[in-house]
Amino acid sequence: MLRKACIQDVKDIQKLLTFFANRGDMLSRSLSELYEAVRDFYVCEEEGKLLGTAALHIVWEDLAEVRSVAVAEDAGRKGIGTQVVQACIDEARVLGLRRVFCLTYKPNFFGKFGFRIVDKSELPHKVWGDCMKCVKFPDCDEIAMILDLE
Structural domains present in the chain: 2-148 (3.40.630.30)
- Helix or strand (DSSP H, E) at 49: strand 49-60
Helices (H), 72-144: 80-95, 107-111
Residues in the chain: 150
Q: State the pLDDT at residue 99.
A: 97
Residue 9 burial (CB count, 10 A): 20
pTM beyond 0.85, yes or no? yes
Residue 69 φ/ψ, nearest 5 degrees: -85, 120
The amino acid sitting at 73 is: E
- As a whole number of angstroms, the distance between CA 53 and CA 70 comes to 5
| Tens place of pLDDT per residue across the chain (150 aa) | 999 999 999 999 999 999 999 998 888 899 999 999 999 999 999 999 999 999 999 999 999 999 999 999 998 789 999 999 999 999 999 999 999 999 999 999 999 999 999 988 888 765 656 655 655 555 667 899 999 998
